[in-house]
Structure 1
Amino acid sequence: MKDYVIKAINAAFPRTVFADLSALDKICVGADGWSAQDFLDEAAKEGGIVLAAFDGTRIIGAVAGFTASDTGEILTVATAPEYRRKGIARNLLTEFFSLIPDETETIALEVRQSNTAAIALYESFGFEKAGVRKRFYRDPVEDADIMVKKFRT
């Protein structure tokens, strides 16, 4: 049973929500984590999608990305450490995919090469490795795999 609620976040949400999203992302990603302004900007822009999983008033997971024309990108996925392996990221991604326009042909993302759990999750959604971004992450320095999901062939 799901003990949390997923909400689509828009620019009208209280600024504290964006600060909480940033705090979660920094716990999960470190120095490369998003700022509150990054989340607000993504939520406000056309094609931007920001989703958060709430356990009561606490944000325990988030995904942010966008679509533009026939492509899109997942920019960040975060789950609070004590809530991992409970399907939260899977449910957030499922909701993300339900919100993208029908004309979307591909969605891309970057993931740390050492994050095998995330890579396995993305592969379960049909993402495939498409390349590498050298030294993409700063803290610690690490390469990123570029992964792409095709919706139409």
Structure 2
Amino acid sequence: MEIRRLDFSNAARCAELEQQLFPEDNPWSRDIFVVEFAQPNNLYLGVFDGDDLLAYGGISQLGPRHDPEFEIHTIGVDPDHRRRGLGRLLMQQLLAVVDSTGGEVFLEVRTDNEAAIALYEGLDFDRIGERKNYYQPSGADAYTMKRPARSEK
């Protein structure tokens, strides 16, 4: 297994996984991933087994460089490779990038996604709010979660 930065050549596979993982919540298309990968303040990583992309995740840096905050945009694991720690591995890599700057991290997660909530709480995220009907078109609610700033400087 290897973690690598994602690029345009990975967009179709990410979109394929999105369709499997989030079919009722307007999964991102290949074109959306292409746009996301091109943004200078975004970082998307993938877990690969050879050339096979098994998991992906993305984060964005917001605000000024001297006082940034970060937002997890998406994270997903191929259903055939769940329960192997790939989501945790990706989150740890993304959070290591954050920790080098000391910024806070935010994310949204479906209130019924107990596995993801447990992962995030295990990585020191706290629930700070709830967004009704956040995911569309399903109308599922989301928790907003936050991890306080840390620094490895």
TM-score range, shorter chain: 0.7 to 0.9
CA RMSD, 1 decimal:
1.8
Q: Is the 8 A contact 2:99 2:149 kept in 1?
A: no
Question: CA separation in 2, counterparts of 1:100 and 1:38?
Answer: 23
Q: Distance in 2 between matches of 1:38 and 1:148?
A: 25
1:82 aligned partner? 80
- CA–CA distance in structure 2, aligned partners of residues 139 and 118 of structure 1: 20
1:72 aligned partner: 70
Identity of aligned residues (%): 30
Residue 6 of structure 1 is aligned with which of 3, 6, 18?
A: 3
Greater shift, 29-38 or 69-78, is seen at 29-38
TM-score (norm 2): 0.87
Q: Deviations over 1:84-112 (max 9, x none)?
A: 11000000111111223633421101000
Gaps of 5+ in 1: none
Give the Å deviation of 1:51: 0.6
Q: Structure 2 residue aligned with 1:62, among 49, 56, 64?
A: 56
Contact 1:90 1:121 in 2 (8 A): yes
The one-letter code matched in structure 2 to 1:67 is: Q
Structure in which a larger fraction of residues adopt strand: 1
| Aligned length in residues | 146
1:19 aligns with 2:16: no
In the TM superposition, 1:117-128 aligns within 5 A as: 117-128=115-126
For residue 32 of structure 1, report the CA deviation from its aligned partner: 2.5
Q: TM-score, normalised by structure 1?
A: 0.87
The gaps in structure 2 that reach 5 residues or longer are: none
Deviations 1:41-96 (A, max 9, x none): 22221220101111222211110121123101001110011111100000011111
What letter corresponds to residue 4 of structure 2 in structure 1?
K
Tell me the distance in 1 between the aligned counterparts of 2:26 and 2:106. Answer: 18
| Greater Cα offset, 74-83 or 139-148 | 139-148
